[in-house]
Amino acid sequence: MEKTLVLVKPDGVAKGLTGEIIARFERRGLTLAALKMLKLTKDKAEIHYAEHKERPFFGELVVFITSGPIVAMVISGENAVKIVRAMMGPTNPADAAPGTVRGDYALSIGQNIIHGSDSPASAAREIEIYFAPDELVN
């Protein structure tokens, strides 16, 4: 079983989409292994987005992800990273097909509802940022 981190970003939480997003993953057959709502600190946001630190949009990422509550979850299942990424749709909602989370609910690349780990290695690193090992169910 593979695990991946999913964040419902502040815009998704504000729009009341958390339940719908979880339901989509569960209906697909993926399992919820951990879940929490939190307000991300600037320090933790900078750790999460460390790979983008030298990019011009880094500051905007940190400001946005800390602007309101987020819901962090660990989703598990066979090929969880790849399946979650496909269900989310491309980062730019303008490129996202209807039926994907971003295709159905997001309008801009800066506020695109959801984050999902892009590889099993990223998932392992990101899960450790948000969850202690004893918080994971399976």
| Cα distance between residue 45 and residue 48, in whole Å | 5
Residues 6+ apart with CB under 8 A from 91: 102, 109, 112
How does DSSP classify residue 98? Answer: B
* In the chain, alpha helices (H): 10-14, 18-28, 42-48, 58-65, 80-88, 101-105, 120-130
66 is in an annotated binding site: no
52 among known catalytic residues: no
**Residue 58 marked ligand-binding:** no
Catalytic residue among 115, 116, 123, 131, which?
Answer: 115
**Does 18 belong to an annotated binding site?**
no
Is 138 within any annotated ligand binding site? no
Find tokens 């997001």 and name the residue.
Answer: 106
Pairing between strand 31-38 and 2-8?
A: unpaired
| 44 annotated among ligand-binding-site residues | no
Is 24 among the annotated ligand-binding positions?
no
| CA 12 – CA 19 distance, rounded (Å) | 10
Which residues are annotated as part of the binding site for ATP? 9, 57, 85, 91, 102, 112
Which residues are annotated as part of the binding site? 9, 57, 85, 91, 102, 112
- Active-site residues: which are they? 115
